[in-house]
Amino acid sequence: RHEAIVGSYINVGSILKACQEYDEAIDYYTQALEIYIKSAAPDKGSICELYNQIGSLHAHGGSFAESLHCFRKAVGFCSQQLGESHPIMAELYDGMGSAYCSFNNLKGTLGCWSKAWEIRLETFGKEHPMVATSYHNIGTAYQKLDRKETALSYFKKALKIRQAKLGEFHLCLGD
């Protein structure tokens, strides 16, 4: 029974997110999260995904401090429930890194994005497109630190993986 209600909250939230109604979308995702947490057998993976969505929505809406708070809470909960090397942890570290980047805390950004890279490398292997995403993110942090040669090295690693795995003309090669 609660799965249908949660699904409805998530569906409404996703449409509101697409319409850039971030505060209202947060309300719907939060309702879904609360139902999952209170359920007899909570789906821990879904709880982590909802935390990730809520943190991202706060960032999209410009509430970077709230975004960072949400991602920290999510990392604490999800690492305890699913383990530090679960793939969702990489998504959470990516989001937290982006929140740090919004505060121009590039040390925090690099720490989070490097942790996401480690998890993806361990989970997916060195030639996976998600590993390329981590290389791209880390390159972006180094670019913001004005360390151009280091940034270039990471961007080239990302490009090499994406060309090999996605093909020469894939849209993400424009990132």
pTM score above 0.95: no
Q: Over its length of 175 residues, how does the chain's per-residue pLDDT go in tens digits? A: 577 899 999 999 999 999 999 999 999 999 999 998 888 777 888 899 999 999 999 999 999 999 999 999 999 999 999 999 999 999 999 999 999 998 899 999 999 999 999 999 999 999 999 999 999 999 999 999 999 999 999 999 999 999 998 876 545 555 5
State the virtual CA torsion across 174, 52, 85, 115 in degrees, nearest 10. 50
In whole angstroms, how far apart are CA 56 and each of 23, 28, 37, 63, 134?
11, 14, 19, 10, 17
pLDDT value at position 150? 98
How is residue 52 written in tokens? Answer: 């990730």
pLDDT value at position 167? 72
- The answer to whether the CB of 99 falls within 8 A of the CB of 55 is yes
CA-based nearest residue to 56, from 22, 33, 12, 13 = 22
pLDDT value at position 82? 93
